[in-house]
Structure 1
Amino acid sequence: MNQDYNNIKKIEASIGGYFGSSYKFKADLVNGHISWSTEGEYFEPPIILNMDAEGITLVRNGLRECNILSWDKEYIDHHILDGTQWSLEIQLSEKSIHINGSNAYPPEWKKFCEVVRKLSGKPFD
């Protein structure tokens, strides 16, 4: 499983709902780029950051700590119709993994949001 985290090429995550802002985060671990953007009520200009090899290692370690490669494919609270939807696309060397949710989250979700916040310097929740 550790090797799988070294095979992550890109990760794209988004979160938002009908009201408020929506956030998008992308990390390209091949070219060393991070981007963060927002849409909606509280618009901010997008940011793009560059990472060196040490930064890419920090991203991989953060994703490993969140255990994202073991998350279920879907987290849905069927009792709430509106609210917050999120998605995660992970591109590995050999395949892509798509995970999404609506008003329900994996146990490590808050830790994942904190990793994104540390990397981008911007909110993601």
Structure 2
Amino acid sequence: MSEPNFEIIEHVGVIATSEFGWTKELNIIRQNDGLHQYDLRSWNHEHDEIGEGVTLSLEEIKGLADLLPRIIVTYDSIKKFKFHYERSWDEDNDYYVDFENHRYGYSIEGYNSRSKEEPIRPGMEKEFLDGLKECNVLLWDEKSTVLMCDGKSWTIEIETDKYKIKKCGYNAFPKEWEMFWKMVNNSLRTTY
């Protein structure tokens, strides 16, 4: 362990305490260059020795904050799930599952337009959430390619009590896309 080579400007908070009295803390610090940064690190009980940690700029903290919902949000915490898929220039598909109000539905606009809205069937909530988990939807990254411009795009929106997550792609899809598309159609009993 070593002594700190920076000054703590503000103690933001303790994240965890070990059985040996060490705390993992987030602090705003000033190092030799005079810049304020955020430091996440272990400290001993007397607060004169530090353990492993990381120092982050404000931009890095903002980036971390953007990533936290991907870690914190669990499939069981999803209250609403919306999904839009544009299969071509002239066909739009919108789906939603509202777990709070126990409703689901879809609207398909194009050559064979149709829509449906119904109460969630018994067992459907678990089936749908298990399907989202199997498809790793919370871990999807946004995708796009300029190599092809065929009008295909997708957007998913996930709502929990605290977070809204939106992910989208243009002319490129996550590797689990086919499995996801099949799961949505089977769960919502759409006919395609």
TM-score by length of 1: 0.86
User: May I ask how many residue pairs the two structures share in their alignment?
Assistant: 121
Higher RCO (CA 8 Å, separation ≥ 6 residues): 1
1:13-92 equivalence runs, <5 A: 13-16=83-86, 17-19=88-90, 21-44=91-114, 46-52=115-121, 54-72=123-141, 74-92=142-160
Alignment of 1:110-125 (within 5 A): 110-122=178-190
After TM superposition, the runs of 4+ consecutive aligned structure 1 residues lying more than 2 A away are none
**Cα separation, partners in 2 of 1:96 and 1:24, compared to 1, 3 Å:** same
Higher helix share: 1
CA distance in 1, matches of 2:165, 2:72: 16
Which structure has the bigger radius of gyration? 2
1:115 is matched by which residue type in structure 2? M
1:7 aligns with: 77
CA displacement 1:26-74 (0-9 Å, x = unmatched): 0001122110111122212x111212552211111111111101111x1
CA distance in 2, matches of 1:55, 1:94: 24
Mind listing any 5+ residue stretches in structure 1 that lack a counterpart?
none
Q: TM-score if structure 2 supplies the norm length?
A: 0.58
| RMSD between superposed Cα atoms in Å | 1.9
- Runs of at least 5 residues in structure 2 that lack an aligned partner in the other structure: 1-70
Q: Show CA shifts across 1:59-116 (max 9, x none).
A: 11111111101111x1101112332011111112211111111111111111111111
Q: Post-superposition shift, 1:123?
A: 5.0
Counterparts of 1:97 and 1:51, CA distance in 2: 22
